[in-house]
């Protein structure tokens, strides 16, 4: 079975997605036991030389076979949809901030209450994010957890259960989760504040607002100093700053001054831009830079037990014959297939025959004999040969006196996927012996499940000419 990859996110070209699949499979195997991966390991050994690359190739092959690759794509689609919903929520929140800050224009606007409505929550959460960054916190914030939760719910794929924890574990090793979630948080706040700025501009352009400040304890000089301090940087960008006379005159809520309207409106917009939008924009760009730089350092932790166990399978120091692993709790069901690209010729191969049986039979001139597969070394050698020179027709001889165990069926499925067309020849018993009917029925059911054609007679005419 060739690994077919959807072009949606091109995981074969995106290293982060490949490493993510490796982590997800590691967690899955730690919880549910090792997967049936003999064919995946063989493909990985052919695809790469170093251990890390072989683990990635194995993960991509298994993910495609078991549906984890499609689950990852569904999760990414859910993540994009969740992000779209959060952006819409940010737009509405920004509009709500502007409307609550300015009101309907029927009453004068308290400038510092308006400023607190626009920037208060933003500044508190920004301070919390900076403190978390300085203290080295690596956990996802509220918006980050909301995004991950929404992504999982919108993906609606049970096979994606290991994907979110695998992604977090992978990113936490390099501290990349803080930059990814930081980019998300700052971008959403940037959208909300831009929305607030646009709605504020629209309200100021279409309604007549009066601006005042009120106090019981503080004097007018305090408000003059605070207003000028906040407006110093916006003034450098060309925004108006109310004069001391206008500020003092605006302290009377009953007498809003007409000349002060434009000055206060410009000051409010400038403070919102400088202390709200610009910090979020700069921090979003900083997180984006750290995220892109950190991806280059991203790699698997090969010291983890799950990857240490794969070392012997993918870079074996010696070949061992027979069954060396216990059967997993849930057996992988092998499937047949075909390999039609570049296939030619015909081939006969036998699997685990009795040494007393005379083999091979007389074959037509243009039919090749691949011998008898009795060991893992012979199996791997033949599969390597078939992967390079796939036959157009493959006849596999099996002894139905043996039980159709999972290893034999997996081999039949793998051989069938290496040829354009495959048939199974269930050999007759030696003279004087009879086949067990129950065991023969087991063979029939297993081959029908593999969707392989079988017969108790040799299909030499089909093997030679392509038809019976």
Tally Cβ neighbours within 10 Å of residue 224. 18
For 367, the 3-state DSSP assignment is strand
Query: How far is the C-alpha of 268 from the C-alpha of 331, rounded, in Å?
Result: 67
Could you tell me which CATH class the domain 346-465 is placed in?
A: alpha beta
The residues near 453 (Cβ < 8 Å, ≥ 6 apart) are: 422, 423, 424
Query: How far is the C-alpha of 160 from the C-alpha of 278, rounded, in Å?
Result: 37
Cα Rg of the chain (Å, integer): 35
Query: How far is the C-alpha of 392 from the C-alpha of 413, rounded, in Å?
Result: 16
Claim: this prediction has a pTM higher than 0.75: no
The residues near 354 (Cβ < 8 Å, ≥ 6 apart) are: 399, 401, 430
Name residue 425's beta-bridge partners.
397, 455
Domain boundaries, the chain: 70-295, 346-465
Query: How far is the C-alpha of 363 from the C-alpha of 350, rounded, in Å?
Result: 13
Is 122 within 8 Å of 276 (Cβ atoms)? Answer: yes
What are 95-136's pLDDT values in tens digits? Answer: 999 998 888 777 878 888 888 889 999 999 899 888 877 776
**Along the 468 residues of the chain, how does pLDDT read in single tens digits?**
333 333 334 455 688 898 989 898 888 888 877 787 777 887 888 777 788 888 888 888 888 888 888 888 888 888 899 899 999 999 999 999 999 888 877 787 888 888 888 999 999 989 988 887 777 655 556 777 788 778 877 777 667 778 888 888 888 888 888 888 889 999 999 999 999 999 999 998 888 877 777 766 666 677 788 888 888 898 888 888 887 777 777 665 444 556 678 888 888 999 999 999 999 999 999 999 999 888 888 888 888 878 877 887 787 654 443 444 444 444 344 454 455 555 678 889 998 888 888 888 888 888 888 888 888 888 888 888 887 788 888 999 998 888 888 888 888 888 888 888 899 999 988 888 888 888 889 899 889 888 888 988 888 888 888 777
What are 329-348's pLDDT values in tens digits? Answer: 443 444 544 555 556 788 89
Question: Judging by beta carbons within 10 Å of its beta carbon (0-12, 13-18, 19+), is residue 432 exposed, middle or buried?
Answer: exposed
Query: How far is the C-alpha of 170 from the C-alpha of 172, rounded, in Å?
Result: 6
């Amino acid at each position: 079975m060739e690994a077919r990859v959807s072009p949606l996110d091109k995981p074969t070209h995106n290293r982060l997605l490949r490493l993510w699949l490796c982590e997800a499979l590691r967690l899955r195997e730690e919880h549910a036991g090792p997967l049936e991966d003999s064919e995946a390991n063989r493909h990985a050994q052919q695809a790469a030389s170093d251990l890390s690359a072989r683990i990635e190739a194995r993960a991509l092959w298994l993910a495609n076979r078991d549906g984890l690759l499609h689950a990852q794509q569904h999760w990414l689609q859910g993540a994009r949809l969740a992000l779209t919903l959060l952006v819409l929520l940010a737009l509405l929140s920004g509009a709500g901030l502007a409307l609550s800050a300015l009101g309907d224009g029927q009453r004068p606007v308290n400038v510092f209450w308006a400023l607190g409505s626009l920037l208060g929550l933003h500044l508190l959460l920004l301070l919390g994010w900076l403190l978390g960054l300085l203290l080295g916190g690596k956990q996802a914030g509220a918006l980050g957890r909301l995004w991950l939760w929404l992504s999982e719910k919108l993906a609606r794929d049970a096979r994606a259960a290991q994907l979110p924890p695998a992604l977090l574990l992978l990113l936490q090793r390099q501290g990349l989760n803080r930059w990814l979630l930081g980019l998300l948080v700052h971008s959403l706040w940037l959208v909300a504040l831009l929305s607030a700025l646009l709605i504020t501009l629209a309200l100021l352009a279409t309604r007549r607002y009066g601006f005042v400040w009120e106090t019981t304890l503080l004097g007018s000089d305090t408000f003059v100093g605070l207003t000028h301090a906040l407006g110093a940087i916006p003034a450098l960008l060309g925004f108006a700053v109310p004069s001391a006379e206008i500020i003092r005159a605006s302290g009377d809520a009953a007498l809003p001054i007409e000349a002060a309207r434009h000055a206060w409106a410009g000051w409010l917009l400038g403070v919102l831009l400088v202390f709200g939008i610009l910090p979020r924009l700069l921090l979003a760009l900083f997180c984006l830079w750290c995220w892109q730089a950190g991806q280059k350092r991203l790699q698997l932790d090969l010291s983890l037990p799950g990857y240490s166990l794969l070392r012997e399978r993918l870079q074996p120091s010696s070949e061992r014959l027979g069954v060396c692993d216990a059967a997993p709790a849930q057996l992988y069901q092998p499937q047949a297939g075909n390999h039609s690209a570049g296939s030619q010729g015909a081939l006969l191969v036998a699997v685990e025959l009795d040494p007393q049986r005379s083999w091979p039979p007389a074959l037509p001139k243009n039919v090749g004999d691949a011998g008898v597969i009795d060991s893992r070394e012979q199996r791997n050698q033949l599969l390597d040969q078939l992967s390079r020179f796939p036959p157009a027709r493959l006849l596999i001889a099996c002894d139905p006196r043996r039980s159709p165990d999972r290893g034999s069926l997996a081999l039949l499925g793998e051989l069938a996927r290496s040829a354009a067309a495959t048939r199974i020849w269930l050999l007759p018993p030696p003279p004087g012996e009879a086949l067990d009917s129950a065991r023969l029925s087991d063979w029939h059911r297993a081959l029908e499940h593999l969707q392989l054609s079988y017969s108790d007679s040799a299909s030499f005419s089909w093997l030679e000419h392509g038809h019976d």
